[in-house]
């Protein structure tokens, strides 16, 4: 089945220790998104890739970076995680022709 | 800019009872509207969407929603809920005719179905 896969599902890191979250998709969608969702809050868009073009949201901290080496993969790098970065991180994909975003299961990040 | 308001943070309901989850939006342009469901520790799954045409939209799991332009609302309804409907429900809005979607989500409504 075509899908959006996120690894790992649960990630524990230490304060200040860089961490990378992974997203892959078999849908061949050209747009990929990263959202941050804190407990009991709405998903908040961090950035998206339209093909290879990176688009950062204005209020996304510099601590968050992303890489998209090819159509299928997209990574979220947190350079120096703080306690406030503990959250669920959701990856989603879409095409530029349809109106639905397909979400992965998310990675829950814990910062100790 | 668009915004979404989900006034009810939590809605408790008994099994087999009807339910309505409210969503109001604000936008200066025409929009697309979506309802997503999120089960614990999972991603979001699309329930239904309004793009154009009939204002009554039917989705998966027996849910439906009605787009009301004059009241800028897109309330979600189900005539008879099951225990398995217990989840977080998010309403979202996207701009019409902009190709790919950047969605703005509401803060969510937790539906709690009890026996």
Domain count, chain B: 1
Asked whether residue B98 carries a pLDDT value surpassing 70, the answer given is no
Residue of B1, B93, B101 for testing the chain A interface, max A β-carbons within 10 Å:
B101
What is the share, in percent, of chain B residues with pLDDT greater than 90?
73
What is the share, in percent, of chain A residues with pLDDT greater than 90?
82
Q: What HEC string does A22-74 produce? A: EEEECCCCCEEEEEEECCCCCCEEEEEEECCEEEECCCCCCCEEEECCCCCEE
Spatial contact of B45 and B85, defined as CB atoms under 8 Å apart = no
Using only C-alpha atoms, chain A has a radius of gyration, in whole angstroms, of: 13
Contact A101 B103 (CB under 8 A): yes
Q: Distance, in angstroms, between A93 CA and closest chain B CA?
A: 10
Spatial contact of A10 and A26, defined as CB atoms under 8 Å apart = no
Instruction: Please name the residue that has the structure tokens 């019409």.
Output: B96
Taking only the tens place, the pLDDT of each residue in A34-77 is 999 998 888 999 999 989 999 999 999 999 999 999 999 999 99
Spatial contact of A78 and A85, defined as CB atoms under 8 Å apart = yes
Which domains are seen in chain A, by residue range? 4-111 (2.60.40.10)
What is the share, in percent, of chain A residues with pLDDT greater than 70?
96
Predicted confidence band of residue A97 (pLDDT cuts 50, 70, 90): low
Which contiguous run of DSSP H or E holds residue B100? none
Distance from first CA to last CA of chain B, Å, rounded? 41
Q: Which two tokens stand for residue A101?
A: 């975003």
Spatial contact of A64 and A77, defined as CB atoms under 8 Å apart = yes
| Mean pLDDT, all residues of chain B | 91
Residues of B with CB under 8 A from a CB of A: 32, 34, 36, 41-46, 49, 51, 90, 94, 99-103, 105-108
Q: Using CB atoms, pick whichever of A40, A42, A100 lies closest to residue B105.
A: A42
Taking only the tens place, the pLDDT of each residue in B54-66 is 889 999 999 999 9
Full domain range(s) for residue B48:
3-114
Which contiguous run of DSSP H or E holds residue A105? none
Q: Which two tokens stand for residue A65?
A: 């970076």
DSSP string across B46-86: EEEEE-SS-SEEE-GGG-EEEEETTTTEEEEEESS--GGG-
Contact B100 A50 (CB under 8 A): yes
User: Which residues is A86 bridged to in the sheet?
Assistant: none
pLDDT of B36 reads 96
Q: Using CB atoms, pick whichever of A31, A40, A108 lies closest to residue B41.
A: A108
More confidently predicted of B20 and B41: B20
Sign of the torsion formed by the C-alpha atoms of A65, B92, B36 and B54:
negative
Predicted confidence band of residue B77 (pLDDT cuts 50, 70, 90): very high
Domain holding B59: CATH number? Answer: 2.60.40.10
Predicted confidence band of residue A16 (pLDDT cuts 50, 70, 90): very high
Contact B43 A106 (CB under 8 A): yes
User: Which residues is B56 bridged to in the sheet?
Assistant: B66
In this prediction, residues B17-35 reach a mean pLDDT of: 91
Taking only the tens place, the pLDDT of each residue in B33-47 is 999 999 988 889 999
pLDDT of B96 reads 65
pLDDT of B67 reads 94
Distance from first CA to last CA of chain A, Å, rounded? 36
Is A104 exposed, middle or buried (CB count within 10 Å of its CB: 0-12, 13-18, 19+)?
buried
pLDDT of A1 reads 66
Q: What are phi and psi of A63, to 5 degrees?
A: -60, -20
């Amino acid at each position: 089945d075509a899908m959006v896969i996120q690894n790992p599902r649960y990630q524990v890191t230490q304060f200040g220790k860089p961490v990378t979250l992974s997203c892959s998709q078999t849908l061949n969608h050209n747009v990929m998104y990263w959202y941050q969702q804190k407990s009991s809050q709405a998903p908040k868009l961090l950035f998206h890739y339209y093909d290879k073009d990176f688009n950062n949201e204005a209020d996304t901290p510099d601590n968050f970076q992303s890489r998209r080496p090819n159509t299928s993969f997209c990574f979220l790098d947190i350079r120096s995680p703080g306690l406030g970065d503990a959250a669920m991180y959701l990856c989603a994909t879409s095409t530029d022709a349809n109106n639905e975003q397909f979400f992965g299961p998310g990675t829950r990040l814990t910062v100790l | 800019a668009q915004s979404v308001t989900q006034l009810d943070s939590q809605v408790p309901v008994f099994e087999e009872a009807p339910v309505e989850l409210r969503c109001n939006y604000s936008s200066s342009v025409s929009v697309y509207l979506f309802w997503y469901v999120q089960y614990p520790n999972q991603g979001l799954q699309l329930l239904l969407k309004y793009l154009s045409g009939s204002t009554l939209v039917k989705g998966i799991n027996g849910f439906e929603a009605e787009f009301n332009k004059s009241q800028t609302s897109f309330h979600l309804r189900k005539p008879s809920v099951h225990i398995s409907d217990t989840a977080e429900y998010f309403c979202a809005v996207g701009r019409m005719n902009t190709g790919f979607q950047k969605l703005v989500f509401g803060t969510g409504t937790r539906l709690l179905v009890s026996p």
